[in-house]
Homo-oligomer: A and B are copies of this chain.
Amino acid sequence: MFWFKVCPLSFEIREKDLLARIGKLKTKSGTVETPLLFPVVNPVVQSISSRRIMEEFGFEALITNAYILRQRFQGQPAQEGLHRFLGFNGTIMTDSGAYQTLVYGNIQTSPEEIIQYQEQIDTDIATILDIPTGWDVTEKHAAETVKETLKRAKSLFERKARDDILWVGPVQGGRYLNLVIKSAKETGKLPFQIHALGSPTEVMERYRFDVLVDMIMAAKMNLPIDRPLHLFGAGHPFMFALAVSLGCDLFDSAAYALYAREGRYMTENGTYRLNELDYFPCACPKCTKTAPKRVLELPQREVETFLAEHNLYVSGAEIKRVKQAIKDGRLWEHLETRAHTHPALFQALKRLAKYQNYIEKHDPVTKNSGLFFYDSTSLIRPEVLHYQKNLKKRYNPPREARILLLVSQTQTRPFHNSKDYKSIAKTLRRQFESQANRIHVCFCAAPFGVIPFELDEVYPLSQHETVVPPDKETMEYVANQTLDYINRSDYEGVVLLSSEGWQNTLQDKAKQACRKRGIPFKYLSFDGKLAKTMLIRLTKTLQKMLSE
């Protein structure tokens, strides 16, 4: 009898990147790793058996619907035990019928019955009967769904009889972010082991991934961060990277089967209709063996199974891609790739700027890989903000520094290994000897802004790949960083030595800062190679400034 065995409930975070984490979630049927996708198994109609979902497709967990089980099979799953009933010895999660409430209005059960039923059938992860807010509703209605869900959440802890089942506390509120915040705060106070964000399906169907970002962040920032967060009904692989980056740990996919029923073929980049395809853009075991034309000739039932299996393969593969990206510290890179599969996802990525501070606070300080920097979208990266904050709060130029010599970006990294820097350093040593340390060399580079030469090997200031020239927004960011840096410094003069291509913005902002501080500014521009004549001009300029 393992029914009342108390399971040490815990979620252990192993790896982090952005707000994503790889974690271990202990359930009474085994420990599963997150981010985790639960394929939805419909006990009534199911084209892929639970056993195959584990053995062939490699899923450790599945989700099924307690309400449907109860309506169709009554006591049978309880008698056999859900695991034997479904033929699945991994972790089983049950949903409560809340989605059916959203679709069909009232359903024929009560919150209390659903609690009791989930305990009886011996599920591993159970969900209270919450009230989904939906999309096209008034704020008043939304507030009522939040209130009633919360009431039901509280009553769980008076009613539940077992301690070895993990309970999910759903957050509602829809697109009314203040309600989502309230719902998250209140639900988070209750001793749930897992939380879930309800009803994002309609937001996703409308491709409003920017709104989804707001909804997830409203929940995430107000829930206990050490509990896993499930995103209900988010089963399309093309948005896993986004949701995981925002700290969603658990997903369920009915989509793989529902899409199949409608002849829709998922990819990690979007969706096709099967009859639109001439080639299968996929390496999965189903697609490599045949072609769209041949599949379309099969009986409808086989077409559906083919699609469901393909959809499940690509969903599983994308979860693994996301996990590997987390391990590599490359989730942002993966996110940028996925954001460039649909403008709505790119729009959502840009929305992350709003949460930059929060993400930066939780993102690991060092990672295993260098950064890929494409354009100003990458300025949202926590590494960029992290450096900006550190430079502001913790950095002081060398004491003896009197003149700031700003050198614009070179292609070599670390910058102090560049030919240009080496000839500048040599000139300074030769011409200024013991006075050379009064001249402080800093680089101006995308995306980080001002980089003092003595820091340029610190991660990730040299560990990144960029595109030249940067886009305008990036140039402006660098220029503004430079302005701030000069403004808060004690330098007595600034020389900007810039190769062409770095636009006027940098010069304008540096000049503006110097004017404000009442110190001299000199701009020296060179084209391509740093010639000897320029080094002579530089020497004279610095000599003049130092003697003033």
Residue numbers of A with Cβ under 8 A of B are: 56-58, 269, 272, 276-285, 287-288, 313-314, 316-317, 320-321, 323-325, 327-328, 333, 336-337, 339-344, 346-347, 350, 372-377, 465-468, 471-473
Determine which residue in A339, A341, A467 has the highest number of CB atoms from chain B within 10 A of its CB, and name it.
A467
Asked whether A340 and B342 contact (CB < 8 A) given A317-B283, A471-B376, the answer is no
Asked whether A283 and B284 contact (CB < 8 A) given A340-B336, A340-B337, A342-B372, the answer is yes
The one of B320, B341, B373, B465 that contacts A281, using a Cβ cutoff of 8 Å: B320
Q: Is the CB of A346 within 8 A of B317?
A: no
Q: Is the CB of A288 within 8 A of B288?
A: no
Give chain B residues whose Cβ lies under 8 Å from the Cβ of A468.
347
Q: Is the CB of B278 within 8 A of A317?
A: no
Q: How far does the alpha carbon of A283 sit from the alpha carbon of B282 in the complex, in Å?
A: 8
How many monomers of this chain does the complex have?
2
Q: How far does the alpha carbon of A374 sit from the alpha carbon of B341 in the complex, in Å?
A: 10
Q: Is the CB of A285 within 8 A of B282?
A: no
Q: How far does the alpha carbon of A283 sit from the alpha carbon of B284 in the complex, in Å?
A: 5
The one of B316, B320, B336, B471 that contacts A473, using a Cβ cutoff of 8 Å: B471
Q: Is the CB of B284 within 8 A of A284?
A: yes
Give chain B residues whose Cβ lies under 8 Å from the Cβ of A272.
324
Q: Which residue of B lies closest to A340 (CB)?
A: B340
Q: Which residue of B lies closest to A314 (CB)?
A: B283
Q: How far does the alpha carbon of A473 sit from the alpha carbon of B476 in the complex, in Å?
A: 13
Give chain B residues whose Cβ lies under 8 Å from the Cβ of A58.
288
Q: How far does the alpha carbon of A147 sit from the alpha carbon of B312 in the complex, in Å?
A: 55
Starting from the known contacts A283-B284, A284-B285, 4 additional A-B residue pairs (CB-CB under 8 Å) come to A282-B283, A340-B340, A342-B372, A376-B471
Q: How far does the alpha carbon of A261 sit from the alpha carbon of B325 in the complex, in Å?
A: 24
27 A-B pairs with CB atoms under 8 Å apart are A56-B288, A57-B288, A58-B288, A279-B320, A281-B320, A281-B325, A282-B283, A282-B321, A283-B284, A283-B285, A284-B284, A285-B288, A287-B317, A333-B341, A336-B340, A337-B337, A339-B340, A343-B373, A343-B465, A343-B466, A343-B467, A347-B467, A347-B468, A350-B467, A375-B471, A471-B472, A472-B473
Asked whether A337 and B375 contact (CB < 8 A) given A283-B314, A343-B466, the answer is no
Q: How far does the alpha carbon of A100 sit from the alpha carbon of B341 in the complex, in Å?
A: 40
Q: How far does the alpha carbon of A321 sit from the alpha carbon of B282 in the complex, in Å?
A: 7
Give chain B residues whose Cβ lies under 8 Å from the Cβ of A337.
269, 337, 340-341
Q: How far does the alpha carbon of A462 sit from the alpha carbon of B342 in the complex, in Å?
A: 16
Q: Which residue of B lies closest to A350 (CB)?
A: B467
Asked whether A346 and B277 contact (CB < 8 A) given A58-B288, A283-B284, the answer is no
Least CB distance, A357 to chain B, in whole angstroms: 22
Q: How far does the alpha carbon of A33 sit from the alpha carbon of B448 in the complex, in Å?
A: 47
Give chain B residues whose Cβ lies under 8 Å from the Cβ of A313.
283, 288
Q: Is the CB of A374 within 8 A of B324?
A: no
Q: Is the CB of A281 within 8 A of B473?
A: no
